[in-house]
Amino acid sequence: MTNEAAWRQGKHCFQIKYLGVFPVAWRRGLAHNAAMAENTAPNPLAPYPLAVIMERVRLADRWGTERWDAKGVVRDSEPPGSGERVIVNDERALQVLFPGFMLRLHIDEAEGYIYNITSPQPKVFVMWRVGEDGIARPESLTVSYHEGARWMDAEENVGGVALPPDLLQWIAEFGAAHYTEEPKKKKRYASSKDKGVASHRDGTS
């Protein structure tokens, strides 16, 4: 199964699996940090610029086809205004570095950030498109699980690459300041008789 197929197959199961299992300490941290947010709201801009590595791999089949995918993101150390450049070019693969990206966090995506960073392998999701010259160029970056899923649903090309570890605390602080869990809804019954029937079925009476 390809990475893309696995992502499509597992994304909705992922939502169910991880939303309800936040550690108690994390919930307390959310409440504490949210109370502090008015005076210490985290910066929505990443602490440093990023560069994206895109990779083209030649497939070993009789049609001589190839596949593009996001390979990784790294701290951008290129001079301002630098363009893309090839960093690997051999018989098996071509890798191109695309500098000049700055990751931005948005308040309405806070839940998606929490989903992502509490997963076993937090990701940066890269949306990319192939140009007329056959080169795949990154268009947008996000660390929101929900936004990455929406890109996939829109049939965009999306790759998930490892989140740089030193961005984890920045994302966690932003999520803690802006994510609020929805309160659980209480069951409503048309009458006390209906409530008794439901309780009997649930084994609570």
Q: Tell me, what's the pLDDT at 196?
A: 53
Q: Residue 51: CB partners within 8 Å, gap ≥ 6?
A: 73, 74, 75, 76, 77, 78, 97, 98, 99, 100, 101
- Exposed/middle/buried for 15, CB within 10 Å: 0-12, 13-18, 19+? middle
Beta carbons of 108 and 93 less than 8 angstroms apart: no
CA dihedral (4, 9, 11, 16) in degrees, to 10, reads: -160
Strands (E), the chain: 50-58, 66-75, 85-89, 93-101, 123-130, 136-142, 157-162
100, amino acid identity: G
Please give the average per-residue pLDDT across 165-177, as a whole number: 96
Beta carbons of 53 and 97 less than 8 angstroms apart: yes
Q: Is the pLDDT score of 184 beyond 60?
A: yes
Q: Residue 147: CB partners within 8 Å, gap ≥ 6?
A: 109, 112, 125
The residue with greater pLDDT, 110 or 8, is 110
Q: Is the pLDDT score of 110 beyond 80?
A: yes
Please give the average per-residue pLDDT across 37-66, as a whole number: 83
Q: Tell me, what's the pLDDT at 129?
A: 97
Q: What is the pLDDT of residues 64-85, one digit of tens each?
A: 688 999 999 999 999 988 999 9
The residue with greater pLDDT, 160 or 20, is 160
Please state the pTM of the whole predicted model: 0.71
